[in-house]
């Protein structure tokens, strides 16, 4: 959580190999987090530019903006957070949902013995244009690699009614050069009946 009166800015990029013919680049993944009174923060996610490259040519567009509020609480060594967001139809015609779409996410984390930690998240986004809910559970195992570095292994999925689920596995590393800044890199694969995709990403966040 971001402390009251502080700001945190996050940005990054992700490259995805969709198939032998198609790749995408997603940036700047810009997220502004503002600490509010109490265990709350305001979250503003700017539109991402998604560029698609294939043998037939290049296309691209902007995703929707999202606004949200996140709350945090702790109990008996366990940390919990609840986030409520709304996606606003500000994106390009081929990428926007054309509606205001709500999303809820519940997260849990717990420090295990030694350098290990465990976390889980479940979120659900309702896309009103297609009248469909998309549920995304995830489970992550983290390990401290000293005072300023860490690693994680994560499984996630996207599940919706009448559709084959997409399973995702990724592994990454974090580095904190100072108390206000963190950098991260990750790579992984996403599996579905239709295809197997490969992705790599990197990001940075700084707290003011």
Q: How does DSSP assign 59-111, residue by residue?
A: EEEE--EEEEEEEEEEETTEEEEEEEEEEES-S-TTT--SS-EEEEEEEEEEE
133: helix, strand or coil:
strand
Rounded Cα–Cα distance for residues 142 and 79 (Å): 15
Q: How far apart are CA 125 and CA 133, in angstroms?
A: 6
Residue 138 lies in a domain: yes
- Count the domains in the chain: 1
For residue 196, being part of any structural domain is answered with: yes
List per-residue pLDDT tens for the chain, 208 residues long: 899 999 999 999 999 999 888 999 999 999 999 999 989 999 999 999 999 999 888 999 999 999 999 999 999 999 999 999 999 999 998 888 889 999 999 999 999 989 999 999 999 999 887 789 999 999 999 999 999 999 999 999 999 988 889 999 999 999 999 999 999 999 999 998 767 899 999 999 999 9
Q: Reduce the DSSP state of residue 112 to 3 states and report it.
A: coil
Look at residue 51 and tell me if it is in a domain.
no
- Residue whose token pair is 């926007």: 96
pTM of this prediction exceeds 0.85: yes
Spatial CB neighbours of 110, under 8 Å, sequence gap ≥ 6? 77, 78, 79, 117, 118, 119
Residue 131, domain member (yes or no): yes
- Model pLDDT, residue 119: 98
What's the pLDDT at 174?
Answer: 98
pLDDT given at position 193: 77
Residue 154 in domain: yes
Residue 176 domain flag: yes
Neighbours of 2 (CB within 10 A): 20
169: which residues sit within 8 A by CB, 6+ positions away?
A: 153, 154, 155, 156, 188, 189, 191
Is residue 101, in this structure, part of any structural domain at all? yes
Q: For position 143, which CATH number holds?
A: 2.40.160.10
Residue 81 belongs to what domain range? Answer: 61-207
């Amino acid at each position: 959580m971001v402390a009251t009166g502080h700001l945190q800015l996050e940005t990054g990029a992700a490259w995805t190999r969709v198939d032998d013919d198609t790749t995408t680049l997603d940036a700047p993944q810009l997220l502004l987090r503002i600490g509010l009174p109490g265990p709350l923060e305001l979250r503003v996610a700017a539109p991402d530019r998604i560029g698609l490259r294939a043998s037939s040519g290049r296309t691209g567009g902007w995703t929707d903006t999202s606004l949200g509020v996140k709350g945090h609480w702790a109990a008996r060594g366990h940390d919990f957070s609840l986030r409520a967001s709304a996606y606003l139809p500000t994106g390009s015609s081929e990428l926007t949902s054309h509606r205001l779409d709500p999303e809820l996410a519940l997260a849990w984390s717990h420090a295990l013995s030694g350098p290990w930690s465990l976390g889980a998240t479940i979120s659900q986004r309702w896309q009103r244009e297609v009248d469909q809910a998309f549920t995304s559970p995830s489970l992550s195992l983290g390990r401290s690699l000293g005072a300023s570095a860490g690693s994680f292994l994560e499984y996630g999925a996207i599940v919706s009614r009448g559709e084959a689920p997409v399973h995702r596995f990724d592994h990454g590393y974090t580095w904190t050069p100072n108390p206000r800044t963190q950098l991260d890199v990750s790579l992984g694969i996403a599996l579905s009946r239709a295809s197997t995709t490969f992705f790599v990403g990197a990001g940075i966040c700084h707290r003011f």
